[in-house]
């Protein structure tokens, strides 16, 4: 009959519960550790995926301000260029107008070393003052026997040249005849002299008249000096 030898401990009975416990603990450890590790990896991967998503970047405040200032500066420069262009065009137009006015010659007569302005009258009784009067649109001019107007006509002689500018056109004349008439005789021939520039039956292109002889009052005289001229 089989039995336990004297002095021998039955380890098989003792080890069976211990082995079972050990195996259980090992199994529990092995089962729980991979599950937790897998969970951590999944969570870490999910977090990593979330944190690596490319979100649209907001423009920096400095960039926005720089773009705004650049746009404003460009607009200001463009407006300034337009303003400069308009100002330049306006200046050119004003300069052109001013030049045109400057180059336009006023009506005048240059004779005996001086130039005197001419103005038009409709009546030969109008006082010429410090200028030379032109009767209507004719070739009859008259002025005072003063140093600033026709005072030197008495010193001229036939063949002397002088010029007259009318309506921006200058014409050169040559003295053909010089006569001195009484004031009463001039009155009789005024129509021929003033309207037709005719004297003694001869037609002339231009007639100049001023006072001569003795003074009568402050602005008159006993005679008239008449210069008859033709275009050269």
Q: In angstroms, rounded to a whole number, what is the distance separating the alpha carbons of residues 149 and 71?
A: 68
The per-residue pLDDT for 24 is 72
In a domain? residue 61: no
Cβ pair 140, 229 in contact under 8 A: no
Residue 219 has pLDDT above 90, yes or no: no
Query: CATH number, domain at 167?
Result: 2.40.260.10
Task: Tell me the residue range of the domain where 182 lies.
Answer: 108-231
**Tens of pLDDT along 170-200?**
999 999 999 999 999 999 999 999 999 999 9
Distance set, CA 231 to CA 27, 138, 228 (Å): 142, 14, 11
In a domain? residue 113: yes
Across 86-90, 96-100, 153-157, least confident range: 96-100
Instruction: Output the furthest CA–CA distance in the chain (Å, rounded).
Output: 200
Q: In angstroms, rounded to a whole number, what is the distance separating the alpha carbons of residues 98 and 165?
A: 21
In a domain? residue 50: no
For the chain, how many structural domains are there in total?
1
Q: In angstroms, rounded to a whole number, what is the distance separating the alpha carbons of residues 143 and 116?
A: 10
């Amino acid at each position: 009959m089989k039995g336990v030898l004297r002095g021998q401990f039955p380890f098989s009975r003792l080890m069976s519960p211990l082995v079972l416990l050990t195996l259980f603990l090992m199994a529990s450890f092995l089962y729980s550790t991979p599950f937790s590790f897998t969970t951590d990896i999944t969570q870490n991967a999910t977090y990593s995926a979330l944190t690596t998503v490319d979100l649209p970047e907001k423009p920096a405040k400095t960039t926005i301000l720089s773009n705004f200032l650049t746009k404003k500066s460009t607009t200001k420069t463009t407006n300034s260029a337009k303003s400069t262009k308009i100002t330049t065009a306006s200046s050119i137009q004003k300069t052109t107008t001013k030049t045109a006015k400057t180059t336009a010659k006023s009506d005048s007569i240059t004779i005996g070393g001086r130039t005197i302005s001419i103005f038009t009258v409709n009546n030969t009784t109008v006082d010429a003052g410090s200028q030379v009067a032109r009767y209507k649109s004719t070739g009859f001019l008259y002025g005072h026997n003063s140093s600033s107007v026709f005072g030197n006509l008495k010193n001229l002689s036939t063949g002397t040249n002088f010029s007259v500018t009318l309506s921006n056109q200058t014409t050169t004349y040559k003295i053909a005849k010089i006569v001195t008439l009484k004031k009463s005789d001039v009155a009789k021939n005024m129509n021929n002299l003033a309207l037709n520039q005719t004297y003694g039956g001869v037609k002339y292109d231009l007639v100049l008249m001023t006072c001569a002889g003795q003074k009568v009052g402050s602005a008159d005289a006993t005679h008239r000096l008449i210069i008859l001229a033709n275009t050269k």
